[in-house]
Amino acid sequence: MESIEQPAILSLFPEGSSVVDGEIAISGVQASDLAAAYGTPAYIVDESALRQRIRHYRDGLSLRWPNSRVYFASKAFPSTAVYRVMSEEGLGIDVAGGGELVMALAGGADPRDILVHGNAKTDGDLKMVLDAGVGLIIVDNLHEVDQLSALVQGTQDVLVRIRPNVDTETHEAMSTGHGNSKFGMGPEEARLAIGRIQRSRNLRMRGLHVHIGSQVFDLDAFSESIRALSEFGEFEIYDLGGGLGERHTYDDPDVSVDDYLDAVVLAAKDFLPPASKIILEPGRSLVARAGVTMYRVVNVKRGGKTLVAVDGGMADNLEVSLYGQRFEATLSNRFRDEELVSVVGRHCESGDELIDGVHLDSPSAGDLLLMPVTGAYCFTMANNYNGSLRLPVVFVSDGVPRLVVRRETYEDLLARDVLVTPLQPSR
């Protein structure tokens, strides 16, 4: 039967996913084999699909604007294996703070290919990135100019982050380009910062940066933010941020990387100097679709709304409770749209609902449930709510799975605690 061979949900899975012997296979490996080898819940990443997406971005940008570079906004999936893939594929790395720097270096990134963000970089952060010899620091505010001037020995290339006063239709917590955003500088402060940097002995004013938010589908908003940069004079480098939205559900718009690159480069041709270098720093749209979370159904409650409870939840996916992000899901081996259910997590909070309303095919305890498009920010924002153990990450490439982050253990949960001597029982 055709519908069983090609379930519609495959359009949200990593490119190259298929149905093998009646079950979804990621890069050729069936879900039940992954579950048997690595347990559940687990994050599965199709490494081949990830590399394909990276190359598409990298080559697509350089074709349209040869003097360019894609940097990975590593907050979207900060694991050394992902840093390594990005570096191997020739991408630069965007880090926000010392922690991401350490992970990027451990993943093999060349410090000169690293750029640094943060709206409140401490002297400690700055010393760390300067010691490492990073390529670019994105100056967020006037105070940071003073901090850097005092700390830099030799010279340091910097960009200035502009707040372009562009609002975007995305979740409030993901909108960063509006006038009251805590990120970057409005026009007056930015002009002061640019002047001070140009006069400083040790900072080199290389260009401007803008980033208007995340999960953005409105291409005009990107163009508008690029136009806003042209009001500050001409520079050598323009970092145009990230933010392209990724389709998570059937209802989401499908704005392709090519659509996005076309729009951005068109705006750059209209508003920026032709000889300048363009940087893009996508996170979500590089990694989201390569990732799938695999859960085991623990129980199903019927009577009222059907509730399918799985062995993970808001500890491994905060996107839903924090941003109201919608996802789709499927059982690994049954694809009919039979029953409207809600998928809930195992944590002690009513808000721990992964999907409110999805069709599954007669779910029951023991089934494997796959939730696609979880490759961005889920690993990043995982937590230990209710003493949950953070999930392993399994890469699958050309039919071969390999563990790249092991599952957390109960020993890990106790590892940071300084054990206190028990109180003596009073007599």
| β-bridge mates for residue 414, sequence order | none
Coil/strand/helix, residue 112: helix
Q: Which of 177, 242, 291, 313 binds ligand LLP (CB under 6 A)?
A: 242
Contact predicate 158/203, CB 8 Å: yes
Q: Which of 47, 140, 218, 319 binds ligand LLP (CB under 6 A)?
A: 319
DSSP 170: S
- When asked if residue 73 is in the footprint of ligand LLP (CB under 6 A), the reply is yes
In order, the DSSP letters of 40-63 are SSEEEEEHHHHHHHHHHHHHHHHH
Stretch that binds ligand LLP, among 13-21, 121-129, 241-249, 349-357 (CB under 6 A): 241-249
Say whether residue 381 binds ligand LLP (CB under 6 A): yes
**Minimum CB distance to ligand LLP smaller for 97 or for 282:** 282
Closer CB to ligand LLP, 38 or 72, in the complex: 72
- Sites for ligand LLP among residues 263-282 (CB under 6 A): 281-282
Count of residues that interact with ligand LLP, criterion CB under 6 A: 21
Given 1, 275, 348, 423, the catalytic residue: 348
CB nearer to ligand LLP: pick between 280 and 329:
280
Q: Which range binds ligand LLP by CB under 6 A, 53-61, 85-93, 125-133, 240-248?
A: 240-248
Are the C-beta atoms of 13 and 48 separated by less than 8 Å? no
- Indicate the residue among 69 and 284 with the shorter CB distance to ligand LLP: 284
Distance CA 274, CA 65 (A): 9
* 76 binds ligand LLP per the rule CB under 6 A: yes
Q: What is the dihedral of CA 223, 228, 231, 237, to 10 degrees?
A: -70
The least distance separating ligand LLP from the CB of residue 1, rounded to whole angstroms, comes to 37
Residues within window 143-182 making contact with ligand LLP, judged by CB under 6 A? 174
378 as an active site residue: the answer is no
Q: Helix (H, G, I), strand (E, B), or coil: what is residue 164?
A: coil
End-to-end CA distance of the chain: 76
Q: Least distance (Å) from ligand LLP to the CB of residue 41?
A: 18
- Identify the three-state secondary structure at position 71: strand
CB of 390 to ligand LLP, least distance (A): 15
Q: Which listed residue (283, 291, 312, 372) binds ligand LLP by CB under 6 A?
A: 283
If one asks whether residue 377 binds ligand LLP (CB under 6 A), the answer comes out as: yes
Stretch that binds ligand LLP, among 148-156, 236-244, 295-303, 340-348 (CB under 6 A): 236-244
- CA angle (256 as vertex; 250, 258 as ends), nearest 5: 170
Closest by CA to 54, choosing from 83, 11, 21, 96, is 83
SS3 of 187-231: HHHHHHHHHHHHHCCCEEEEEEECCCECCECCHHHHHHHHHHHHH
Catalytic residues: 348
Residues that bind ligand LLP (CB under 6 A): 73, 75-76, 94, 117, 174, 211, 214, 241-244, 281-285, 319, 323, 377, 381
